[in-house]
């Protein structure tokens, strides 16, 4: 496996090998699916919509609906305005969504289609009470995380309003590019802490919808348009993850003066502690409900009981910045060594943040943003690790080097149920810990000689 990968690292300036990111539009499509009765629309070639739908479907194993402007060579030369107008007309006629969320592609960006003005000129095609929102998501800038952030900003720009009379929505929560199961758990935590909060985008009950024998073209879940509209009237926006959520929180701040509370995605004990403390402060309470305190207690109990299993182990961690950052922190709180931290998404912030978290606790630390899995593999070839944590694409390196892989992040294409169970919160941390420990012990069992094979571990 991957025998062509040499150990010697030669710096590359042009060739990306085995990327640890993909392009903006898929992130925009995912975000848009988090609005109730919304049809994402890809303004580009058919292939973009097809690839993004395929990829999301493989990860979630649930229907992913999206339409496309079906560019041909003619449209690419003369502009996509006519295609988009036709699309808007057909979409409302045939699929009757409440919201159409248009994102661009490298094609429509390169030819310079002005989507907002096309939408303005197509008002007569948009039925009363329906919305067409948009985001610019050029594939040659940033990554799928940037696309998610841009579409979330688009929601704010196109839908949010300031309406002081609306007091039902005090706190906005932007959950970041996380799983439906994570969002459901964040909502539970917010309820437990009695915060009058509204979350968007919300893909729970959209991409993990139950089997009933009936297809809901628009599943039950998703943030309501009113929720997003009301976000401009909120007191504060809790942004989870500075790469995927902060831009929309800042947009709400600039437009409507909504306070920004920037936090990490609450993965691991420290990030969850901070999340709880900030939410407590927002709610005016001093202590969380007993239920939550007990959850934390169980996590710490597990950590203290089992730390000998994973302490000191070297980990190669890769994935999206907002997931890698809190995971690095969690690994440190377990006494592990996150020696390699890598993301495909560009951004110096990532490198700085990882270095800050690790401080001097990880002497062998290598960290890089805008990098790829080819490089990660080469790092591993030069100095081995005990564990790899990352998405499905890590399985090739895992097989090549005989190092266990804990599947974490997007996408998980080869194992089931990942989107259903949360990584966030104290419960999520317990689940991650179980996976990490199991991976290490399974390897120990598999490799143990008969006389060293242990019953109790």
Partner 1 sequence: MEPIKQAARVDREVGKKAVKEILSAYPAKVAKNRSTHIVVKGKNKGQKIAANTRTIPGIITNRGCCYAGCKGVVIGPIKDMVHITHGPIGCGYYSWATRRNQGMTANKKQMFLPYSFSTDMQDSDIVFGGEKKLELAVKEAYELFKPKAISISATCPVGLIGDDVQAVAGRMQKELGITVIAMNCEGYKGVSQSAGHHIANNKLFQEVIGTEDREYKNPFTINLLGEYNIGGDGWEIKRILEELGYEVVSFLTGDAGVDDIRRAHNAKLNLVQCHRSINYMAEMMKKKYGIPWLKVNFIGVNNTSRTLRDVAKFFGAQELIKRTEEVIERERKEIEPVIDTFRKGIKGRTVMLFVGGSRSHHYQDIFYELGVETVMSGYEFAHRDDYEGRRVLPEIKPDADSKNIEELNVQPDPEKYRPVDGEKIAGLQQKGVPVNDYAGLYPSLPEGALMIDDLNHYETEKLIERLKPDLFCSGIKDKYVVQKMGIPSKQLHSYDYSGPYAGFRGAVIFARDIYQAFNSPSWRYIKPPWETEPEIVATLTEKEKRGGKNAGGNPKRDNPQKSSPD
Q: Which of residues 291-350 bind partner 1 (CB under 8 A)?
A: 344
CA–CA distance, 423 with 266 (Å, rounded to integer)? 8
- Indicate the length of the chain as a whole number: 457
Name residues contacting partner 1, limited to 3-32 (CB under 8 A): 3-4, 6, 10, 12-19, 21-23, 25-26
Q: Which of 241, 255, 432, 437 is nearest to 343 (CA)?
A: 241
State the nearest-atom distance from the C-beta of 121 to partner 1, in Å.
16
Q: How far is the CB of 92 from partner 1 (least distance, A)?
A: 9
Q: 271-275 — which CB contacts under 8 Å span 24+ positions?
A: 271/326, 271/329, 271/330, 272/296, 272/424, 272/425, 272/426, 272/428, 272/429, 275/189, 275/240
Q: Which helix (H) or strand (E) holds 440?
A: helix 425-447
Token pair for 334: 């377990």
Piece of 79-87, 115-123, 168-176, 326-334 that binds partner 1 (CB under 8 A):
79-87
What number of chain residues touch partner 1 (CB under 8 A)?
82
Which of residues 29, 30, 38, 44 is near partner 1 by CB under 8 A? Answer: 44
Q: Which is nearer to partner 1, 370 or 428 (CB)?
A: 370
Cβ neighbors of 176 (< 8 A, separation 6 or more) are 148, 239, 240, 241, 243, 244, 245, 265, 322
By the rule CB under 8 A, 279 interacts with partner 1: no
| Region of 83-91, 257-265, 294-302, 308-316 interacting with partner 1 (CB under 8 A) | 83-91
User: What three-state secondary structure class fits 42?
Assistant: strand
Smallest separation (angstroms) from partner 1 to the CB of 242: 21
Q: Identify which of residues 48 and 246 has a Cβ nearer to partner 1 in the complex.
A: 48
Which residues are bridge partners to 101 per DSSP?
A: 40, 133
Of positions 37, 45, 177, 323, contacts partner 1 by CB under 8 A: 45
Q: Is 325 helix (H, G, I), strand (E, B) or coil?
A: helix
Site for partner 1 in 134-153 (CB under 8 A): 138-141, 143
Min CB(420)–partner 1 separation in Å:
14
Q: How far is the CB of 378 from partner 1 (least distance, A)?
A: 10
Interface with partner 1 in residues 362-391 (CB under 8 A): 374
Taking CB under 8 A as the criterion, the residue among 71, 177, 275, 350 binding partner 1 is 71
Q: What is the DSSP string of 94-151?
A: HT--SEEEEEE-HHHHHTT--HHHHHHHTGGGS-TT-EEEEE---TTSS-HHHHHHHH
Is residue 120 within 8 A of residue 153, CB to CB? The reply is: no
Place of tokens 């959209």: 206
- Binding of partner 1 at residue 86 (CB under 8 A)? yes
For residues 66 and 334, which CB has a smaller minimum distance to partner 1 in the complex? 66
Minimum Å distance from CB 6 to partner 1?
A: 7
Q: Nearer Cβ to partner 1, position 12 or 384? A: 12
215 binds partner 1 (CB under 8 A): yes
Q: Smaller CB distance to partner 1: residue 142 or 175?
A: 142
Helices (H), 231-337: 246-256, 269-283, 290-306, 321-333
Site for partner 1 in 48-67 (CB under 8 A): 48, 50-55, 57-58, 61-67
CA distance 437 to 445: 12
Residue in 1, 167, 281, 293 binding partner 1, rule: CB under 8 A: 1
Binding mask 219-248 for partner 1 (x = CB under 8 A): ------------------------------
Q: Does 407 bind partner 1 (CB under 8 A)?
A: no
């Amino acid at each position: 496996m991957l025998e062509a990968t040499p150990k010697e690292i030669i710096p590359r300036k042009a060739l990306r090998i085995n990327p640890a990111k993909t392009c903006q539009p898929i992130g925009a499509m995912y975000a848009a699916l988090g609005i109730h009765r919304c049809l994402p629309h890809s303004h580009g070639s058919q292939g973009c919509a097809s690839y993004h739908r395929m990829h999301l479907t493989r990860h979630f194993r649930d229907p992913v609906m999206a339409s496309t402007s079906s560019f041909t060579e003619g449209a690419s030369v003369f502009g996509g305005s006519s295609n988009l107008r036709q699309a808007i007309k057909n979409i409302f006629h045939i699929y009757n969504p409440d919201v159409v969320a248009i994102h661009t592609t490298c094609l429509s960006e390169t030819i310079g289609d002005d989507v907002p003005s096309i939408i303005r000129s197509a008002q007569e095609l948009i039925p009363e009470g329906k919305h067409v929102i948009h985001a610019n998501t050029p594939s040659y800038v940033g990554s799928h995380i940037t696309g998610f952030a841009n579409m979330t900003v688009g929601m704010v720009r196109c839908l949010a309003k300031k309406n002081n009379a609306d007091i039902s929505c005090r706190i906005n929560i932007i959950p970041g590019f996380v799983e439906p199961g994570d969002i459901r758990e964040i909502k539970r935590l917010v309820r437990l802490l009695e915060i009058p909060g509204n979350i968007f985008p919300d893909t729970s009950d959209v991409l993990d919808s139950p089997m009933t024998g009936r297809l809901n073209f628009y599943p039950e879940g998703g943030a309501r348009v009113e929720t997003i509209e009301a976000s401009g009237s909120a007191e504060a926006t809790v942004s989870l993850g500075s790469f995927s959520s902060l831009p929309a929180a800042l947009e709400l701040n600039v437009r409507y003066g909504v306070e920004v509370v920037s936090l990490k995605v609450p993965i691991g004990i420290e990030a969850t502690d901070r999340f709880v403390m900030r939410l407590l402060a927002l709610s005016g309470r001093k202590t969380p409900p007993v239920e939550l305190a007990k959850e934390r207690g169980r996590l710490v109990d597990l950590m203290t009981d089992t730390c000998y299993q994973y302490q000191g182990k070297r980990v190669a961690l890769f994935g999206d910045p907002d997931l890698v950052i809190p995971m690095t922190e969690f690994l440190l709180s377990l006494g592990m060594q996150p020696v390699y931290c890598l993301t495909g998404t560009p951004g110096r912030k990532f490198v700085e943040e990882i270095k800050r978290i690790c401080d001097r606790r990880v002497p062998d630390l290598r960290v890089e943003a805008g990098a790829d899995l080819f490089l990660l593999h080469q790092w591993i070839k030069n100095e081995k690790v005990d564990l790899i944590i990352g998405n499905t694409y890590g399985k090739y390196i895992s097989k090549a080097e005989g190092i266990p892989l804990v599947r974490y992040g997007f996408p998980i294409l080869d194992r089931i149920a990942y989107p259903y169970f949360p990584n966030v919160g104290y419960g999520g941390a317990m689940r991650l810990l179980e996976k990490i420990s199991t991976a290490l012990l399974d390897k120990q069992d598999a490799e143990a000689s008969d006389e060293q094979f242990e019953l109790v571990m």
